[in-house]
């Protein structure tokens, strides 16, 4: 099976100008032409009423098909915002990670620009084999959690090896990578794992329980919180999935809110070589269909066949897009 890393994080946004200022200006991703989304295929794809429309922009690292951000502003006043002030981890899709070279300098720069951070940058050891990153989180546009990561430690660890791969890929002119990892807080670990492994061909890079005071501090989780963290990856260093499974604390379930036309992280999007075959595998593992296979048009990508299913481990939306055979 060919591996399919995260192609796009699909966000419902309150303002495309604000999205452009952050993902284009701050993160430094290339900005596509703003396009209008409408028509029967668009309505079916997002389960919207007839006559719905939206405007959208794709943010990417040049021509890369991995770790992109698709920002969609749905043209309706009837929108709810998924992340609320003070929210931390909640069930479903809840953050975007970007690698940086100097996390402390980047944090100071973003604080000066008015961004609210959850803590100071914190270094910690995931495990002896995994290595030692330094991380910090802050509130991005529309309250979405943005996680910065500096990869440090011995090059023989998983984190150290990853740093070498990232250095080879390079960063944007402002010093950020595309989406390196994105967190999915799950309810059923085995069912979520089956989706990423059997449908998308991703492999487990790290599988550990995060329970150190340092990790709970920068993630702003309860003292003593234990979270199973399973990092799913492909040969590409970006577009990884971090499954987080709360083991001894409650995390609100916002799955019902994480649908169009609401504001927040709506779907993880993946390119697949054969959409029909992929949907058959989804049926086999119990991933329920949210919207059927239809042709949609995407900014910077063009017309493609696509469908949306619910991840059986959480109900979060997973968008599957058939690759251009050319």
One fold for 8-75+258-322 and 92-246 = yes
Question: Using 50, 70 and 90 to split pLDDT, how confident is the model at 307?
Answer: very high
Are 58 and 301 in contact by the 8 Å Cβ rule? The answer is: yes
Proportion of the chain above pLDDT 70, given as a percent? 99
Domain regions of the chain by residue span: 8-75+258-322, 92-246
Look at residue 131 in the predicted model and tell me its pLDDT. 81
Average pLDDT over residues 270-294: 97
Q: Which residue has the tokens 């109900």?
A: 315
Nearest to 181 by CA among 220, 255, 217, 234: 234
Radius of gyration, alpha carbons of the chain: 18
Alpha-helix runs per DSSP H in the chain: 16-19, 40-45, 103-112, 158-169, 189-194, 213-218, 275-285
Nearest to 188 by CA among 286, 45, 49, 267: 286
Look at residue 326 in the predicted model and tell me its pLDDT. 60
Neighbours of 62 (CB within 10 A): 9
Q: Widest CA span of the chain, in angstroms?
A: 55
How far apart are alpha carbons 244 and 297 in whole angstroms? 32
For the chain, the average pLDDT equals 95
Per residue in 174-232, pLDDT (tens digit) is 999 999 999 999 999 999 999 999 999 999 988 999 999 999 999 999 999 999 999 99
pLDDT reading at 63 higher than 90: no
How far apart are alpha carbons 46 and 162 in whole angstroms? 35
Nearest to 299 by CA among 76, 83, 23, 3: 23
Q: Which CATH superfamily is domain 8-75+258-322 in?
A: 2,3-Dihydroxybiphenyl 1,2-Dioxygenase, domain 1 (3.10.180.10)
Per residue in 89-147, pLDDT (tens digit) is 999 999 999 999 999 999 999 999 999 999 999 998 877 787 889 999 999 999 999 99
Label each residue of 250-301 as H, E or C: CCCECCCCCCCCCEEEEEEEEEECCHHHHHHHHHHHCCCEEEEEEEEEECCC
Q: What's the CATH architecture for 92-246?
A: Roll (3.10)
């Amino acid at each position: 099976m060919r591996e399919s890393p995260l192609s796009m994080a699909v966000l419902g946004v309150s303002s495309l100008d604000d999205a452009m200022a952050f993902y284009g200006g701050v993160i430094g991703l290339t900005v596509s032409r703003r396009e209008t989304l409408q028509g029967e295929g668009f309505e079916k794809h997002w389960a919207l009423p007839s006559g719905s429309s939206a405007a959208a922009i794709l943010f990417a690292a040049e021509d890369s098909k991995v770790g992109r951000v698709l920002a969609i502003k749905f043209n309706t006043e009837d929108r709810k915002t998924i992340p609320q002030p003070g929210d931390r981890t909640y069930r479903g899709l809840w953050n975007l990670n970007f690698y940086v070279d100097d996390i402390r300098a980047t944090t100071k720069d973003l604080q000066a620009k008015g961004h609210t951070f959850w803590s100071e940058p914190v270094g910690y050891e995931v495990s002896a084999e995994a290595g030692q990153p330094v991380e910090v989180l802050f509130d991005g546009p529309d309250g979405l959690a943005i996680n910065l990561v500096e990869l440090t430690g011995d090059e023989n660890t998983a984190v150290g090896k990853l740093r070498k791969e990232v250095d080879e890929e390079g960063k944007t002119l402002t010093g950020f990578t595309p989406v390196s990892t994105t967190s999915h807080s799950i309810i059923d670990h085995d069912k979520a794992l089956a989706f990423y492994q059997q449908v998308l061909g991703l492999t487990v890079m790290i599988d550990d329980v995060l329970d150190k005071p340092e990790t709970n501090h920068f993630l702003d989780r309860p003292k003593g919180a234990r979270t199973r963290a399973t990092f799913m990856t492909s040969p590409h260093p970006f577009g990884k999935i971090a499954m987080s499974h709360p083991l001894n604390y409650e995390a609100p379930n916002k799955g019902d809110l994480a649908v169009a036309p609401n504001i927040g992280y709506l779907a993880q999007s993946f390119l697949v070589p054969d959409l029909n075959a992929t949907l058959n595998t989804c049926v086999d593992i119990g991933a329920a269909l949210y919207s059927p296979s239809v042709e949609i048009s995407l900014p910077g990508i063009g017309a493609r066949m696509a469908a949306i299913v619910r991840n059986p481990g959480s109900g979060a939306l997973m968008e599957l897009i058939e690759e251009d055979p050319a």
